[in-house]
Amino acid sequence: MTKADLVDKVTSLGDLTRRDGEVIVDTLFESVIGALKEGDKIEIRGFGSFRTRQRKPRIGRNPKTGERVDVPAKRVPFFKPSKELRDTVNAKTHGGEMEAHLTPKLEKEIAESIDKHHPPAM
């Protein structure tokens, strides 16, 4: 899935223009990136959490020449999926259909998140 696909999904959920969808998706990504830059943790219940991890300096090798290279310490983004997301991704398939292993809590959240006046496009 690409960013453009996400924009299309967002715009299909309601009476939004493509530009509105782009603003929503861009704002979400910019917020996550900004928080990570500040060293904050982002936690989205039922999805997962984003944070940065510190990597120590190390000595690497140039793969072309084999020469030793000093790699400095750095912070790297890290995503940890929630248990609900892991269970959904690892749902078993039987006869081409997914066997859903959603927790009752997640099923309730999904049901409550669907706008009855603007159901998602199928």
Instruction: Report the chain (122 residues): mean pLDDT per 10 consecutive residues.
Output: 92 90 94 95 94 95 94 95 92 58 67 62 51
From CA 87, how far away is CA 45, in angstroms rounded? Answer: 14
Please say whether the beta carbons of 71 and 57 come within 8 A: yes
44: closest CA among 1, 83, 13, 82?
82
Question: Does residue 79 contact residue 50 with C-beta atoms inside 8 Å?
Answer: yes
Between CA 11 and CA 33 the distance in angstroms is: 23
pLDDT score for 15: 86
Q: How confident is the model at residue 122, as a pLDDT?
A: 47
- With residue 94 as reference, give the H or E element that holds it: strand 93-94
How many whole angstroms separate alpha carbon 7 and alpha carbon 21? 5
Amino acid symbol at 108: K
- Do 63 and 78 form a contact (C-beta atoms < 8 A)? no
The reported pLDDT for the residue numbered 91 is 83
Task: Work out the angle at residue 89's Cα, subtended by the Cα atoms of residues 95 and 39, and round it to the nearest 5 degrees.
Answer: 170
The dihedral over CA atoms of 77, 54, 64, 68, expressed in degrees to the nearest 10, equals 170
For residue 13, the model assigns a pLDDT of: 87
**pLDDT at 113 (0 to 100):** 65
